[in-house]
Chain A
Amino acid sequence: MIAFEHVGKRYGGRFEALAHLNFRVARGEMVFLTGHSGAGKSSLLRLIMRLEKPSRGRVVVAGHDIAELHASQVPFYRRQIGVVFQDHQLLFDRSVFSNVSLPLEIQGVEPREAARRVRAALDKVGLLHREKALPVELSGGEQQRVGIARAVVNKPALLLADEPTGNLDPQLSADIMALFEDFNRIGTTVMIASHDLALIARLRHRILRLQDGRLVADEGAA
């Protein structure tokens, strides 16, 4: 699903965010990405989302070499990837329902079908009763769950999450992780960047450990 081959990423000529990255993630795997802040977790995710191109090496996601994607293909490439952001990136002038339906709107899904899928996604994250609420009326944990619902509403093959439990208390964090495990169980490849070591150690999935842009450990690979 994901293959990094000798990937390096430099910003502004000098600062090396990532170096000599080599790893593969199989379809249907669940992987944690960890390391201190600034270790390159976000840069790695940004490469997969094709927000940036690697300075060196190849990044291949779902069969696409991301450096070779034409700008006009990028939107269609991104539609295969669900992303959960640390700051959830919700639109605050739209209801929960309309936030979640945004990816379907972009893909032109027929409204009745879209509504069905949005409700299914909201039901999955336990927020069906809040569909008419505005994001500001929700708690941090609820907002994050709306973000997750939006990421999974179009059933992406790959689900990325950048510090999804960043600002949540342990119980909420565990709930969120359990949600990701549920999606992984139905075949979605999941990659989660997190520095909550205690939590991810309990979950017994593969862990990629980054340090100063290098892969220093690949533990618990299946």
Chain B
Amino acid sequence: MKRAVTPRPTGAAPKGKRQVAKPARTSSKPPTERRGARSQQTRFSSRVRAWGRHHRAMALDSLYRLVRHPVGNLLTMLAIAIALVLPAALWLTLDSAKLLDAELDESATLTVYLETTVDAAQSARIEEAVMADVGVETTRLISAEQGMAEFQQSLGIEDTLAGLEDNPLPASIVIYPQNVEPAAMAQLAQRLEAFSGVDEVRVDLAWVARLRHLADLGRRVALALGVLFGCGVLLVVGNTIRLAVESRRREIEVVMLIGATHAFVRRPFLYSGAWYGVGGGLLALGLLGLGNHWLSMPVAALAGSYGASFVLPHLDVTGSTILLSCSTLLGWLGAWLAVTRHLSSIRPR
């Protein structure tokens, strides 16, 4: 900053030199004027420094005020933390459900049932024709005999069915489509139904779609909850700051009488709000970790009993940073709203 103004010679020159250079001027002006001329050169940089100094001072001052009343402030932070934990936990759960969703996509298939009159050679031709469709990734032909064997195996009723004269099952083709979007799969099914020799196409979509809708719903609920609880955080911080403003009303009136700007008056309260947010965010992270620890054992056991290896999601560094930034921002914003609303009602007497 100083360098930027050096082209003005009088300001850049050292004090002694300037007095020599312009003796008439300096001697005719009182000392305060001289100081004024110099300070004008560095006014901007000194203002920036003063601004930084006040920020630092207020950040520490508000932190000190927070620490001085630990219990009440801890309760405020806990309220913030609880409000943050609920949507965050829901979001985490859905995030891990998304992983499940990806696995499910792999198992999204169509099954084409051929007419019972179709023989093995014909079904191979139909499979070839099906393969030619652009929407088809791969296929797997299940002949009537294979189908029967699988059926018997899965039911464990070999003897009963062995008594049947004819195999009542049709041959079928399992199709792995390229695009697993529900709409694309429905279109593919329509095309396949038009093939000759095809009796029926079944899309095992319903439950995939349902799960997707459910996840979608869950995400929306999480978002709505996030917004609601975010507002809750704003209110909690806003109310706390409102009380703080009220308790320092006299001080505010006095400093406004002697020329404090609104920004100056607001600053300590904004820092208090941000500290509440930081504290609440850290507590929320702690609560999430605790909850994870508390639930991981039964969840692992439950998943194990299904033969799955579902692990409760952890909040990673990015997630933690986002949560902490959000809570800090919310604290700051709550304080800003409260102070701004309140300052207009405070007029120095």
User: Please, how many angstroms separate the alpha-carbon atoms of A90 and B261 in the complex?
Assistant: 19
List chain B residues, Cβ under 8 A from A79: 258-259
Chain A minimum-CB-distance residue to B253: A89
Q: Are B257 and A83 in contact (CB under 8 A)?
A: yes
Chain B minimum-CB-distance residue to A71: B262
User: Please, how many angstroms separate the alpha-carbon atoms of A89 and B254 in the complex?
Assistant: 6
Check A103 for interface membership: any CB of B closer than 8 A.
Answer: yes
Q: Are B258 and A102 in contact (CB under 8 A)?
A: yes
A-binding segment of B46-54, B126-134, B135-143, B221-229: B46-54
List chain B residues, Cβ under 8 A from A155: 32
User: Please, how many angstroms separate the alpha-carbon atoms of A127 and B259 in the complex?
Assistant: 24
List chain B residues, Cβ under 8 A from A90: 254
Q: Are A89 and B257 in contact (CB under 8 A)?
A: yes
Q: Assess A111 versus B257: contact at CB under 8 Å? Given A51-B348, A91-B251, A106-B264.
A: no
Check A76 for interface membership: any CB of B closer than 8 A.
Answer: yes
Pick the residue among A72, A108, A111, A150 that contacts B258 (CB under 8 A). Answer: A150
Q: Assess A109 versus B250: contact at CB under 8 Å? Given A79-B259, A83-B258.
A: no
Q: Are A78 and B32 in contact (CB under 8 A)?
A: no
User: Please, how many angstroms separate the alpha-carbon atoms of A105 and B159 in the complex?
Assistant: 96
Pick the residue among B50, B253, B260 that contacts A110 (CB under 8 A). Answer: B50
Q: Are A103 and B254 in contact (CB under 8 A)?
A: no
Within 8 A of B (CB), among A51-97: 51, 72, 75-79, 83, 85, 89-91, 93
Q: Are B53 and A108 in contact (CB under 8 A)?
A: yes
| Chain A contact residue count (CB 8 A cutoff) | 25
List chain B residues, Cβ under 8 A from A89: 253-254, 257
Q: Are A110 and B348 in contact (CB under 8 A)?
A: no
Q: Are B257 and A49 in contact (CB under 8 A)?
A: yes
Q: Tell me the interface secondary structure of chain B in the complex.
A: helix
User: Please, how many angstroms separate the alpha-carbon atoms of A111 and B54 in the complex?
Assistant: 11
* Residue from the set B46, B253, B254 with the largest chain A CB neighbour count within 10 Å: B254
User: Please, how many angstroms separate the alpha-carbon atoms of A108 and B53 in the complex?
Assistant: 8
User: Please, how many angstroms separate the alpha-carbon atoms of A102 and B258 in the complex?
Assistant: 8
List chain B residues, Cβ under 8 A from A110: 46, 49-50, 53
List chain A residues, Cβ under 8 A from B254: 89-91, 102
User: Please, how many angstroms separate the alpha-carbon atoms of A108 and B54 in the complex?
Assistant: 7
List chain A residues, Cβ under 8 A from B32: 155
Chain B minimum-CB-distance residue to A80: B259
List chain A residues, Cβ under 8 A from B51: 108
Chain B minimum-CB-distance residue to A72: B261
Q: Are B50 and A108 in contact (CB under 8 A)?
A: yes
User: Please, how many angstroms separate the alpha-carbon atoms of A208 and B87 in the complex?
Assistant: 68
User: Please, how many angstroms separate the alpha-carbon atoms of A90 and B253 in the complex?
Assistant: 11
User: Please, how many angstroms separate the alpha-carbon atoms of A106 and B50 in the complex?
Assistant: 9
How far is the CB of A160 from the nearest CB of chain B, in Å?
11
Interface string of B249-286 (1 = CB under 8 A from A): 01101111111111010000000000000000000000
List chain B residues, Cβ under 8 A from A150: 258
Q: Are A75 and B257 in contact (CB under 8 A)?
A: no
User: Please, how many angstroms separate the alpha-carbon atoms of A125 and B259 in the complex?
Assistant: 22
Q: Are B250 and A75 in contact (CB under 8 A)?
A: no
Q: Are B255 and A102 in contact (CB under 8 A)?
A: yes
Q: Are A107 and B257 in contact (CB under 8 A)?
A: no
Q: Are A91 and B259 in contact (CB under 8 A)?
A: no
Q: Are B54 and A107 in contact (CB under 8 A)?
A: no
List chain A residues, Cβ under 8 A from B261: 72, 75-76, 106
How far is the CB of B260 from the nearest CB of chain A, in Å?
5
How far is the CB of A28 from the nearest CB of chain B, in Å?
13
List chain B residues, Cβ under 8 A from A105: 54
Q: Assess A78 versus B259: contact at CB under 8 Å? Given A110-B46, A110-B49, A111-B53.
A: yes
Q: Are A76 and B50 in contact (CB under 8 A)?
A: no
Q: Show 29 A/B contacts (Cβ-Cβ < 8 Å), sorted by A.
A: A49-B257, A51-B257, A51-B348, A72-B261, A75-B256, A75-B259, A75-B261, A76-B259, A76-B261, A78-B257, A79-B259, A85-B257, A89-B254, A89-B257, A90-B254, A91-B254, A102-B258, A106-B259, A106-B264, A107-B50, A107-B259, A108-B46, A108-B47, A108-B50, A109-B50, A110-B46, A110-B49, A150-B258, A155-B32
Task: List 14 additional contacts besides A51-B347, A83-B257, A108-B53; criterion CB under 8 Å.
Answer: A49-B257, A75-B260, A78-B257, A78-B258, A83-B258, A85-B257, A89-B257, A91-B250, A91-B254, A93-B251, A102-B258, A108-B46, A109-B50, A155-B32
